[in-house]
Amino acid sequence: MSFLKLWPLLFIVLLVVTGCRSSRSLRGERFVLVVDAGHGGNDQGAAGRRSLEKEVNLEVARRVCKLIRKQCRDVEIIQTRPDDEFVSLNDRAGMANFYRADLFISIHSNSARGWAEGTETFIHPSARGGRSERMARLIEQEYVKTGRESRGVKTANFAVLRNTRMPAVLTEIGFISNRSEERFMNSRKGQKRLARSISNAFIRYRRSVP
Ligand SMILES: [Zn+2]
């Protein structure tokens, strides 16, 4: 068999062996991912009827880290706050810049005065068309796969998006002000599904960037 005929086979073997890795990790470089659980400490974020945003964000962020650690051994994960503590927005972005992160994912819960439901993921206005937008779209696609209502990808001049020097997204996992979404976001099943969506999006993102 000629070498040319072997190429497709080699490609399949590489995919199986590398799992969630990209060509970058094949060169021995570690991918640095920052997972940022929004709010914390005396900054509780939005409040639902029975839970606080800071708690939900942290639970989902922890699950995201766990899933990615399990599936992508070559990824170094940095949590801006592994516990219930206050970290300023500048420090969150500063941490990601200091460690020269490859990707920044901030996890938040939404709130509205009137009735609202669904997920939405933000990127900085200057990041349109780039890797941030790609990651944001993948996250929203993964939410939809699990039956969530997607409000789409949006732009906002949030500090953590503005001050980070790498692709960055801020995902709103649902409305804590909506009774049934709050229940979902506090349930083990809901948190697992949300975390799975974000980690699946991350794995697809890694495969798609060199
Ligand atoms: Zn928030």
Residue 131 lies in a domain: yes
The CATH number assigned to the domain holding 32 equals 3.40.630.40
Distance (Å, whole) CA 88 – CA 36: 11
* pLDDT single digits (tens) 108-155: 999 999 999 999 999 999 999 999 999 999 999 999 999 999 999 999
Distance (Å, whole) CA 51 – CA 103: 29
State in Å: Cα 92 to ligand 1 middle: 14
State in Å: Cα 200 to ligand 1 middle: 22
**Beta-strand pair 168-175/103-110:** parallel
Domain count along the chain:
1
**Nearest one of 18, 71, 79 to 207, comparing CA atoms:** 18
Range of the domain at 87: 24-208
Active site (annotated) includes residue 149? no
* pLDDT single digits (tens) 48-93: 999 999 999 999 999 999 999 999 999 999 999 999 999 999 999 9
End-to-end CA distance of the chain: 30
Residue 15 lies in a domain: no
State in Å: Cα 85 to ligand 1 middle: 14
Alpha helix stretches (DSSP H) within the chain: 3-18, 23-26, 53-71, 89-98, 131-145, 159-162, 179-186, 188-208
* pLDDT single digits (tens) 12-51: 444 444 456 665 555 567 899 999 999 999 999 999 999 9
Residue 121 lies in a domain: yes
Residue 11 lies in a domain: no
Residue 94 lies in a domain: yes
Residue 133 lies in a domain: yes
- Does residue 1 carry a pLDDT above 60? no
